[in-house]
Amino acid sequence: MTILSVGTRPADTAVPHGLRVGVLALQGDFREHAHVLRELGASVELVRRPEELDRIDGLVIPGGESSVMDKLARTFGLAEPLRAAITAGLPVYGTCAGLIMLADTILDGMNGQQSLGGLDIAVRRNAFGSQTASFETDLEIPALGEKPVHAVFIRAPVVETVGAKATALATLDDGRCVAVEQGNLLGTSFHPEITGEYRFHQYFLQKLVAAAR
């Protein structure tokens, strides 16, 4: 599988001065998300402590191990403040493990695993098998324009149920949902942060701008 490096900053990106995006930095590929967001002109805060939530306008939850993120979030006292922030309307974008963290229901979670919730969806972890079963495909996502999104799936979850409050943004050829949004929340099964695909992060930044008005 070919993983592309992150491309150059798009010329049409406009991020208001002072807008600050947090990236949950407990575990996973948070550095890649931080790099993309900085390339798009955002100020980035790596979030590891509850008090850091007060300094951000939105949050990205990266890919990684959702069960480990859950345990670390509770250990560092972040879980409850994160749930409260999501309920209060904080824009949040989760990729892969981050999508699992945002799901209201995890169908095959580890013993005792909890999610932050917010997205009216049910997800299944590692829905495509082990890391050796990782794959790439192009997805039609009308919300992001006519050009297909090249998506990389690495031990990815799948959205098995999309509730009435959520909206599917992308599905595979077999109909399984792999991108979803609900108000200020956005989630993808795949990893745009490692393919040079900026449009999901731009789409998320638009949510932050709208929420800040």
All domains of the chain, ordered by start, with CATH?
20-212 (3.40.50.880)
Instruction: Please tell me which residue in 45, 181, 193, 197 is annotated as part of the active site.
Output: 193
Instruction: Please tell me which residue in 45, 191, 197, 201 is annotated as part of the active site.
Output: 191
Helix (H, G, I), strand (E, B) or coil at 149: strand
Judge whether 191 counts as a catalytic residue. yes
Q: Does the pLDDT of residue 213 top 90, yes or no? A: no
Q: What is the model's pTM?
A: 0.91
Q: Does the pLDDT of residue 14 top 70, yes or no? A: no
Residues across the chain: 213
Judge whether 96 counts as a catalytic residue. yes
CA distances from 29 to 12, 41, 177, 193 (A): 26, 19, 23, 9
Helices H, strands E: what count in the chain? 5, 12
Q: Are strands 92-95 and 185-188 parallel, antiparallel or unpaired?
A: parallel
> For residue 55, what pLDDT band results from cuts at 50, 70 and 90?
very high
pLDDT at residue 132, as a whole number:
64
CA distances from 99 to 58, 74, 93, 109, 181 (A): 15, 18, 8, 13, 10
pLDDT one-digit tens code per residue, 103-141: 999 999 889 999 999 999 999 998 887 666 689 999 999
Instruction: Please tell me which residue in 96, 177, 181, 197 is annotated as part of the active site.
Output: 96
